Amino acid sequence: MTLDPKDWDAFRTSAHAMLDASIDKLANAAEGRVWTPLPEAEKANIQANLPIQGVSHDVMQKQLESFLPYGVGNTHPRFFGWVHGAGAPSGLMAEIAAAAMNVNAGGRDHVAPVVERQVIEWSAEIMGLPADTSGLIVSGTSMATIIALKVARDQAMNTAQGQLVGYTSTQTHSCAAQAFDILGLGRDHLRKIACNDALEIDVHALQTAITADKAAGFVPFLIVGTAGAVNMGAIDDLEGLAEIAKAEGLWLHIDGAFGATAVIGEHARARLTGLSRADSLAFDFHKWLQVNYDAGCVLIRDEAAHRGSFSDRPEYLHGSERGLAGGAFWAVDYGPELSRGFRALKVWAHMKEHGVEALAAVIDRNIEQAQYLENLVKASPKLEMLAPVPLNICCFRYKFDGDNDALNEEIVVQLQESGIAVPSTTIINGQLAIRVNLTNHRTKESDLDMLVEAVLRIGGELT
Ligand SMILES: Cc1ncc(COP(=O)(O)O)c(C=O)c1O
């Protein structure tokens, strides 16, 4: 019994049909609805009995093709929700190659570790970190944060005794507190420091908190700064944080999930120089760099510290000088996963195919578009801004004397359900905002015009 096709020609025909359908989807990404909920009939197709007998390639191809319209919608130019990248057609080819090779990229001497290490070197160069910076390609910033904070914790535990505490702002993504929880540090021991009016961490309040914790017998070990906060894109004073970390002997981790990648462009670069002073940095390729899901990265300045936190190879994983068990970079030495796919390939291929210049142009254009949208909002007497626009996120609302939060929530749901656009919501200073995030290389200014028109129309109908 083999699982290879009985008829390779028939398989080839089905696979080509799948590729054609996928290319058609991407070539027409700007057409039609943004989000389309999965119809009941499709759901029933999925929720079938355990398949005992299989189906032909042809049947499976048609089934897979029928799923294509029912994703999140982030390939569409009017997807503005949360922080989702739009991906790129080039990802298809790398994914096909990776599927054909079916490598386990946990270690050993083959193409995957060489590609992965190259992506890490490029990433370090982009962020201004030394060429020998350590790192790993992971599923996303959440996993990258767990890895980075484990290294930081282990380093602190080498020298300090007592309850470790870390510091971050109230705007930091929840993955930092979750990492504290997973690492057994306790969520409460990640202190949430207040922000200034720009929603950046208040560095004076941070200094005060560190001093108070020390006086109370706690052991400060970490500052988590944010380059591009999830709610509205604030960039902390990274240089200021680096100064405090240096003076206090703390580890500086930066969550740069999407914002750090803006360092390749012109508009935000000057505010991101502090990235190069991080001890560790987490960011994503699948957000603003437009690599297909999923691909994130953790960079750790101190390779020995990184390796020391994860490398523990038993006899069945011993490396060798020669043969397949050779190879200098084994991913298993730098993270918790042994078996892992060839995620780095699509990142390497994407960066090679498009080049940093084109990726930077996308980022700068999105920053300009966020300002364009801010101007549209300010020009409309029915709308008001709820937060500054430091980067690529615009938070605003429809003005209403009644239950404003409920109204704006309903506007967002109607935008999504009508298929016109997908913004998300967030809370800024206690008020619900329509949140428009621009990490999309397909968005045009006319898409933002259409969004504002729809908000005004729906808001008018509801009030
Ligand atoms: C600032 C920030 N940090 C962390 C994350 C989590 O990243 P991921 O979803 O790749 O795990 C996000 C996700 O949007 C984010 O915006």
pLDDT digits (tens, 9 = 90+) for 225-238: 999 999 999 999 99
For ligand 1, atom 11, which residue shows the shortest CA distance? 142
Exposure of 321 by Cβ count < 10 A (0-12 exposed, 13-18 middle, 19+ buried)? exposed
| Residue 76 pLDDT | 98
Question: Which of 143, 146, 175 should be mutated for ligand 1, with most atoms under 8 A from CB?
Answer: 175
Which helix (H) or strand (E) is 167 found in, with range? Answer: strand 164-169
**b/e sequence 374-399, b meaning 16+ C-beta within 10 Å:** bebbeebeebebbbbbbbbbbbbbbe
Here the tokens at position 439 are 């990490």
Is the Cα dihedral 13, 18, 21, 27 positive or negative? negative
* Rounded distance between C-alpha atoms, residue 92 and residue 35, angstroms: 21
φ, ψ for residue 150, nearest 5 deg: -65, -40
Q: Which residues contact 328 (CB under 8 A, 6 or more apart)?
A: 113, 117
* Strand duo 134-138 + 296-300: pairing: antiparallel
| Minimum-distance ligand 1 atom for the alpha carbon of 144 | 11
State how far the Cα of 249 lies from the Cα of 330, in Å rounded to an integer.
30
Ligand 1, atom 10, residue with closest C-alpha: 140
Other Cβ atoms closer than 10 A to 246: 11
Distance 299 CA to ligand 1 centre (A): 15
| Model pLDDT, residue 101 | 98
Neighbour count for residue 25 (Cβ, 10 Å): 16
Contacts of 326 (CB under 8 A, 6+ apart): 108, 109, 319, 320
Query: Beta strands 251-255 and 219-226: pairing type?
Result: parallel
Q: Which atom of ligand 1 is nearest to the CA of 294?
A: 10
| Phi and psi at residue 107, to the nearest 5° | 175, -170
Nearest to 200 by CA among 171, 222, 224: 171
Report cis status (omega within 30 of 0) of the bond before 132: no
Distance 142 CA to ligand 1 centre (A): 6
Closest atom of ligand 1 relative to the 287 alpha carbon:
10
Strand pairing category for 383-385 and 296-300? unpaired
- Which are the contacts of 102, defined by CB distance < 8 A and separation ≥ 6? none
Q: Which phi and psi (to 5°) does residue 252 adopt?
A: -105, 110
Nearest atom in ligand 1 to the alpha carbon of residue 140 is 10
CA of 242 to the centre of ligand 1 (A): 22
Candidates 74, 82, 168, 173: which one to mutate for ligand 1, based on the most atoms within 8 Å of Cβ?
173
pLDDT (0 to 100) of residue 160: 85
Q: Which residues of the chain have pLDDT under 50?
A: none
How many other CB atoms are found less than 10 A from the CB of residue 52?
5
Which phi and psi angles does 137 have, rounded to 5°? -90, 125
Residue whose pair of structure tokens reads 């011993």 in the numeric block: 318
Could you tell me the distance, in angstroms and rounded to a whole number, from the CA of residue 259 to the centre of ligand 1?
10
Which residues are registered as beta bridge partners of 361?
none
Which strands, in side-by-side order, build the sheet including 424-428?
A: 383-385, 393-398, 431-437, 424-428
What residue spans of 89-174 are helical by DSSP H?
90-101, 111-127, 141-159
- Spacing, Cα 228 to ligand 1 middle (Å): 10
Atom of ligand 1 at shortest distance to CA of 226? Answer: 1
Model confidence pTM above 0.85? yes
pLDDT of residue 45: 86
What's residue 191's pLDDT? 98
Q: Whose CA is nearest to atom 16 of ligand 1?
A: 230
CA of 151 from ligand 1 middle (Å) equals 19
Query: Two tokens at 302?
Result: 């101190």
H helix intervals, 282-428: 303-310, 343-379, 404-418
Listed residue (244, 238, 223) closest to 156, CA to CA: 223
Ligand 1 centroid–CA 173 distance in Å is 7
Residues with CB under 6 A from ligand 1: 82-83, 140-142, 173, 175, 228-230, 255, 257-258, 284, 296
Atom of ligand 1 nearest to the CA of 82: 14
Q: How far apart are CA 238 and CA 67, in angstroms?
A: 43
Q: How big is the CA angle at 349 (ends 11 and 260), to the nearest 5 degrees?
A: 135
